Structure 1
Amino acid sequence: MSLSLSAFIAFIPIALVLIFMVGLRWPATRAMPLAWLVCVLIGATLWKMPAGLVAASTLSGFGSAVNVLIIVFGAVLILYTLRESGAMETISHGFTTISPDRRVQTIIIAFLFGAFIEGSAGFGTPSAIAAPLLLGLGFPALAAVCVCLILNSIPVTFGAVGTPIWFGLKNLKPVVDAAVSQGAPVASFEAFMHQVGVYAALVHAVAAILLPLFVVCFLTRFFGKNKSWAEGLGVWKFAVFAGVCYAVPYLFTAILFGAEFPSLLGGLIGLGLVITGARKKLFLPRDTWDFADRAHWEKEWLGDIEPGSNNLTPKMSQLAAWTPYILIALLLVLTRLSFLPFKGWVTSFVISFPKILGWETVNFAMKPFYLPGVVPFMLVAILTIFIHRIPGPKVALAWRDAVMKMKSPTIALLFAVAMVEILKQSGHGMAGYSSMPLTMAEFVAGLCGSLWPMAASYVGALGAFITGSCTVSNLLFADFQYGVAATTGDSHTIIVALQSVGAAMGNMICVHNVVAASATVGLTGMEGTILRRTIIPCLLYGFVAGVMGMLFIYILFPGTF
């Protein structure tokens, strides 16, 4: 079988996900199981994977998905617990008192608060939280969704305490370990992931300086009375100030501590600095910008929920409301620093299944107490019951809603990760072919050659668009990207970093996020309109990432592994 034909066949499961979810608008709960089944058939027939290997790969994928689902559940549980305690309403009310300028509100809420939520929870929660908050402040529903989706890109590579890196890139461990044993200039797989995180953070840090200003210009151009880009530029000092306040701790954290904290600490520190600056009128524009009277709004801007209809009332002090998030940040730092004893405590208990069904290459392991879903998310959710004195019925409601919220993500993730595991293990089939991702990589590398860095981030965005997740995009395409780098001679580290950046920028157009965010502001059925507004920023982001990738590989860091 020729390389072009085998690459085409290997792409079929991914193409089917695209057709099912975008063309036919199927939910992931239907699309992913069918894509998994097609992947099984291709693996068993053309790659000649034994039935036992297919079954073992599926079981390993299911187990890996459970790791992520525990994190998702813990993140959702925290949000619902804070909802029931009144803390979330208190936090939201605090934002309304900072500035009446809609441009300033966009930067603080959609960018910085969204980044903090992404760092602590991830999985589409920032847009689902920030968009209704902006709607409640009087934003048009379409504007609220668009700005939240566009700005929920910079922090996503390190969202949910770094899950897209430490879990999304886990499939690269065997090939990186093999490269290390053969003398590659990288100390270990952990060192490789750290470098990937640093290069990704460098790209995102540049975007953090540019994107908030672009978004407020986007806001004034498409939703302002005068349809003016210049009115957005009027807040450039504050936008750049906010970008720097976020980017510096974000990049500093990625370099010093790794992939788990950049978005969390960048968002938390940046939010504190910018709110303090705004209260002191630092870099605020002289004029206050607002939308036109609602009578002049276009019909498509409005959803089923009336803007500004939320009457926010603080239920406690801001310190009390923010205490759970402060505890989350503190516990994450304490349990991730190697020189403290706490990391050893939470990693000491391991659930391991080596050689699943007797297959040497198929394994699964879980460190339950090291998963952020358990410590700190579930732990803090329990502590919050006592800190905020939440009555029993409301506690029960928070836990019930969190469990109910897990139905769709569970089905989708189980089969998505199982499909990825089969794609990875297909290289051990009896046909003697390279794995499906590497087959695709060899074909694409031959087409693009040295220009691949310009295209790498768009592959990551495609993965997020298809699967609805930066993490799953990395699971799906990290092998592919690594293989292209090996074929073209580009830096493996930088190309994988561009994959991670692309998977993050894909959140702007990710079908799951668009649907979820739209539903929270009453815009169901307007997903196509939203995608038309967010696709251009996504393409521009990818161009910036590509230029920086070329700069890294050929000028600044030539010879990097």
Structure 2
Amino acid sequence: MYQQILDPVAHSLAWSSLVAAIPLLLLFVLLGVLRVTAWVASLISLAVAIGVAVLVYGMPVGQTLLAGTEGAAFGFFPILWIVINAIWVYQQTVETGHFDVLRRSFSRVSDDQRVQAVLIAFSFGALLEALAGFGTPVAVTSVMLMALGFKPMKAAVLALVANTAPVAFGAMATPILTLAKVTELPADTLGAMVGRQTPILAVFVPLVLVAIVDGWRGIRETWPAAVVCGLVFGIAQYATSNFISVPLADVVAALLSAAAVVALVRVWRPSRSYTEPAVVAGGAADEPTAEFADRVAHPDSRADVVKAYAPYAIIIAVFVICQITAVKKLLDKATVKFQWPGLDIVSPKGKPVTLTEFTLNLLTTPGTQMLIAGVLTAIVLKLSASQAVKAYGTTLHQLRWAILTVMAVLALAFVMNLSGQTITLGTWMSAAGGAFALLSPILGWLGVAVTGSDTSANSLFGALQVTAANQAGLSDVLMAASNSSGGVLGKMVSPQNLAIAAAAVGMNGKEGDIFRRVVVWSLLFLLLMCILSGLQASPVLSWMVPS
């Protein structure tokens, strides 16, 4: 048995935190400064985390390695299982030519790529986040943007930055439901509080997307579309999470924001249409051809358009059906929970650590539901069994380095979590007293940056946020919600998501370059969330906290 230690270095939380942060800091330096390939950087940082766990925290070598294997397994199932099957659906549409039909359909909505970025990366990405989460929107929207003529780097950056405001309510509000479980606070109350934070963020994200595409000129020329999209999404997310249903917050917000943009461009157009210069072939999709432009001018048949949208309609239908209580209970019978073999770890207080329990939710995981949607897609698009299998093989080959990266990063996360390194960092930050209201989102950001998942970050730090809030006389609901809201901003710098984005646009090995393009936006949004959290903990905005 191994008992976690909070302050192994000179019995000091501060010094112990500095040492505990080394693997994470090294990972970001390797990615952002030295531009090392993500899978190499992840393996190096994993080795350092193992060294810190064994040499500094005194964790037995066997337990440390087993913690890494559990993390790697979790990285594959459920996370990669979702992404692989989501990309498989996309590959089938490419195989049959229906993806070209889809991109032509989007082009007919607006030929301005600034508007397309808002509609696809933000609204459509939010819908995918609502249904599946775990990297799916980044994988799918980045290749859709590539197909519309965006350069690979810009497509990846847009997909990552857009995957922020919807994340807390992603996968049918799984992060918030998990937060409620670990904090023992009502899920509806937590959802309402998050719904009074992330909608404010949502107002700014579409404007940032336009700026990434075309700078300040883009904002001046297309701000109506960006503002309408952000406002409608924010209002819908707030209203749905506070008054209707927490799990449906992103679904409603995504659909209404997309509808609002489509309605707007019917009566308004930018003064100048913007299109990226030609894309260099070699990524996940090549530049639009002369045939593509001709087909935009001469629309595809209605039957072809219906088939192009069919995979996404199928995904929505499968996920909605699987959320029906009776169906969910039936599917849940295939769920198996077990203690990871050989792991015997207790917290500093001597209580068993729940992280050692592995959940194999074979049928309720979005990955299996995405696989079912993929099979139905193959039938609707009339792919033969050999074509469907070939598309799956293409997907695995495309994601091979992303798979290695994600498994290594999750192994790193579990070693840091189970050895006590992450808890050391969180406990040190929670000692800030009243100022913790400003730091609370940073803790969530840190958790997602390490694990790539807002759900995991809430599971890791949710209870700690409540404890710190009680000690500092702050609202436990606000601090717990700030963990989730701050966490969404760590998504874009997570090596897991960086690897998925790089693989999707054909830029394997360039994760560090993508990181450098998104880290500034991540930190700026984090600063905004910290200020908002601090104001909501003060008399200025305390009225926003549900009683």
Q: Specify the TM-score bucket, using the shorter chain as the normaliser.
A: 0.7 to 0.9
Contact 1:460–1:501 (Cα < 8 Å) also in 2: yes
The corresponding residue for 1:431 is: none
The corresponding residue for 2:321 is: 334
1:319 to 303, 306, 317: 306
Change in 2 beyond 3 A, CA 1:165/1:55: farther
Contact 2:322–2:328 (Cα < 8 Å) also in 1: yes
**Is residue 15 of structure 2 the alignment partner of residue 2 of structure 1?**
no
* CA offset digits 1:65-91 (Å, max 9, x no partner): 323232233322222233323333222
**Is residue 288 of structure 2 the alignment partner of residue 288 of structure 1?**
no
SS at match of 1:289: coil
Counterpart CA distance in 2 for 1:280 and 1:104 is 12
Superposition RMSD in Å:
4.0
**Is residue 424 of structure 2 the alignment partner of residue 439 of structure 1?**
yes
Within 5 Å, give how 1:224-243 maps onto structure 2: 228=217, 232-243=219-230
2:166 to 155, 161, 164: 155
SS at match of 1:364: strand
The corresponding residue for 2:390 is: 397
The corresponding residue for 2:4 is: none
Counterpart CA distance in 1 for 2:343 and 2:206 is 52
Alpha-carbon distance, 1:477 to partner: 5.7
The corresponding residue for 1:549 is: 533
Alpha-carbon distance, 1:526 to partner: 7.8
SS at match of 1:154: coil
Contact 1:356–1:363 (Cα < 8 Å) also in 2: no
* CA offset digits 1:15-55 (Å, max 9, x no partner): 33234433443344333344344333433444333456445
**Is residue 94 of structure 2 the alignment partner of residue 83 of structure 1?**
yes
Alpha-carbon distance, 1:373 to partner: 0.9
Alpha-carbon distance, 1:412 to partner: 3.3
Contact 2:90–2:140 (Cα < 8 Å) also in 1: no
Change in 2 beyond 3 A, CA 1:271/1:528: same
**Is residue 521 of structure 2 the alignment partner of residue 537 of structure 1?**
yes
SS at match of 2:311: helix
Change in 2 beyond 3 A, CA 1:198/1:356: farther
**Is residue 438 of structure 2 the alignment partner of residue 454 of structure 1?**
yes
**Is residue 21 of structure 2 the alignment partner of residue 11 of structure 1?**
yes
> Quick one: which amino acid aligns to residue 352 of structure 1?
K
SS at match of 2:197: helix
* CA offset digits 1:126-171 (Å, max 9, x no partner): 455444544554556665554444323222334455555567x69x
Within 5 Å, give how 1:99-498 maps onto structure 2: 99-138=110-149, 144-162=155-173, 164=175, 173=182, 176=183, 180=184, 186=185, 191-192=186-187, 195-217=189-211, 219-221=213-215, 228=217, 232-255=219-242, 260-275=247-262, 277-278=263-264, 280-281=266-267, 284-285=268-269, 287-291=270-274, 308-309=288-289, 311-312=291-292, 314=300, 316-338=303-325, 341-354=326-339, 356-357=341-342, 359=344, 361=353, 362-374=356-368, 376-426=369-419, 435-446=420-431, 448-461=432-445, 464=448, 484-485=468-469, 488-498=472-482
Change in 2 beyond 3 A, CA 1:12/1:143: closer
* CA offset digits 1:167-194 (Å, max 9, x no partner): 7x69x83xx3xxx5xxxxx3xxxx35x5
SS at match of 1:554: coil
Identity %: 23
* CA offset digits 1:192-244 (Å, max 9, x no partner): 5x54444333322122223323443554435xxxxx3xx62444443332223
Change in 2 beyond 3 A, CA 1:43/1:379: same
Contact 2:38–2:512 (Cα < 8 Å) also in 1: no
Counterpart CA distance in 1 for 2:304 and 2:474 is 53
Contact 1:438–1:479 (Cα < 8 Å) also in 2: no
* CA offset digits 1:279-333 (Å, max 9, x no partner): 642xx24x53234896xx9xxx988778544754558433332233223223323
Contact 2:401–2:508 (Cα < 8 Å) also in 1: no
Alpha-carbon distance, 1:389 to partner: 1.0
Contact 1:218–1:232 (Cα < 8 Å) also in 2: no
TM-score by length of 2: 0.79
Change in 2 beyond 3 A, CA 1:519/1:328: closer
Mean alpha-carbon deviation: is it higher for 308-317 or for 234-243? 308-317
What are structure 1's unaligned runs of at least 5 residues? 181-185, 223-227, 427-434
Contact 2:193–2:481 (Cα < 8 Å) also in 1: yes
Counterpart CA distance in 1 for 2:290 and 2:479 is 45
Counterpart CA distance in 1 for 2:101 and 2:276 is 28
Mean alpha-carbon deviation: is it higher for 204-213 or for 122-131? 122-131
Change in 2 beyond 3 A, CA 1:69/1:551: same
Alpha-carbon distance, 1:406 to partner: 5.0
SS at match of 2:337: strand
The corresponding residue for 2:35 is: 25
Counterpart CA distance in 2 for 1:59 and 1:266 is 38
Alpha-carbon distance, 1:351 to partner: 1.5
The corresponding residue for 1:430 is: none
Alpha-carbon distance, 1:57 to partner: 3.6
Change in 2 beyond 3 A, CA 1:492/1:63: farther
Mean alpha-carbon deviation: is it higher for 150-159 or for 458-467? 458-467
> Quick one: which amino acid aligns to residue 76 of structure 1?
I
The corresponding residue for 1:225 is: none
Mean alpha-carbon deviation: is it higher for 346-355 or for 451-460? 451-460
Contact 2:399–2:500 (Cα < 8 Å) also in 1: no
**Is residue 70 of structure 2 the alignment partner of residue 70 of structure 1?**
no
Alpha-carbon distance, 1:474 to partner: 5.4
Contact 1:60–1:356 (Cα < 8 Å) also in 2: no
